[in-house]
Structure 1
Amino acid sequence: MIHQYEGKATYNGERLYLDKTELIQAGFQPGVRYSTRTDDSLIELSISETGSNRVSQKQRKDRVIPIIDKTGFDIREALADCKHIIVTIHFGRVTIKGIKSTAEQLKKQIVNHTSEKQTDLTTISFCAGAGISSSALVAAGFKEVAAVEYNPKEGRESKFSDIYLQNHNDTIMFNVPMQHLKANDLPAADVWVATLDCV
């Protein structure tokens, strides 16, 4: 099942379900016919007199809400492995774009090019702070192997790096100015991430 708001889970793309009043403004009145086209992780619904689908409806208090409710192999295939979706409503057309995990996509590309077994992609974060961006990377499917954090303006250079290690205790922390590091000081990683510097 697909929810109609960006950022919601997709339940592996088993079903498409939209119930938005904005559909009426776009011409998707209850009873109107529409066609469906899928392309990779994009689904496009277009109003069409010869379309094989029809907009249904539900009653909510004194309002009629149009509903697009569709299942099918093409939708499941287009949204397979998508973690989030973006729904855009235009006049006469609705587009649903599936967003796949960045780490998962990169893993597939690496496996396809090297024929190696799929493993977690690794990262190193610079200006890591207390580890908020690192937590986002881990949630996206990466494995953080090292971080660099040094902030003498706080009066104690290790203030943020100590907090970081409480949340990422299996990561190597370099509590030194990054310009003091050489590339071969760091462990191997697939991605280097530089977050915004505090200044």
Structure 2
Amino acid sequence: MIDKIIELSILSGGLLPLMGLVLLVTLAVIIERCYFFHFIASFGMALERDLKTIKPGDTEKLRQLEKHYDSALQLSVVTSALVCNQNDEQGLERHMDEAILWQIPKLEKNIWILDTSVTLAPLMGLLGTIIGMVHAFDILGVSGAGGSATEMISGGIAEALVATGAGILIAIIAVVFLNHFNKTIQTLLNQMELLKVMMKNRLINSK
């Protein structure tokens, strides 16, 4: 098994091990982001539910909510609303918009790696296949057109195509989770927009 992997790695011009590294990095990003988004989403839903029960003008409970969810990313919307001048509606909205924008880099952290894997992995696989096919046709030039040479070429091409298959597999894994994470990011941003409206209703409309 190990000998076969080494043989395929050599046939791909050393690109197959590099593709394995790309796969490991991709999986590491996927696992980290899955944990992060699960944590953030669960806290966000709880914050949204508790904020809904608070009556307009009850700033004391809003501050208690701030302390309770101090590790939630969405809490920045609540905090920014409580620290600014609540009599200024436009200023209040600007502060909360700024707080939301500050969270976007945290949400999009390392997502570019998945985007890169989607493009890079198939190209690396294709290049590895081309290198393998060049090697296979070199056999034909050395051995002539005999039956054994033809069989060796067929086997070489089949092995060379492993690199393309591996690249496509990595790209499929990356693109599925990339789309999932992009959807999750949009959902979380929409949630923060909802929290912004809820905070305005509990601060401004109570005046």
Quick check: which has more Rg, 1 or 2? Answer: 2
TM-score (norm 1): 0.23
Which has the larger strand fraction?
Answer: 1
TM-score, scaled to structure 2? 0.22
Q: Which structure is richer in relative contact order (CA contacts within 8 A, separation 6 or more)?
A: 2
